[in-house]
Amino acid sequence: MPDIALRGELWDNDSADVLRFWGWRDITAPMDIQAALEAAGGEDVTLLVNSPGGDMTVGLEIRSMLRRYQ
Residue 1 has pLDDT above 90, yes or no: no
Q: Enumerate long-range contacts of 57-60, CB under 8 Å, 24 or more apart.
A: 57/12, 58/10, 58/11, 58/12, 58/29, 58/30, 59/10
Q: What is the pLDDT of residues 35-69, one digit of tens each?
A: 999 999 999 999 999 999 999 999 999 999 999 99
Q: How many domains does the chain have?
A: 1
Entry field: residues in the chain? 70
The pTM of this model reads: 0.91
> Average pLDDT in the 22-47 region?
96
Per the structure, the complete domain to which residue 64 belongs is given by 3-68
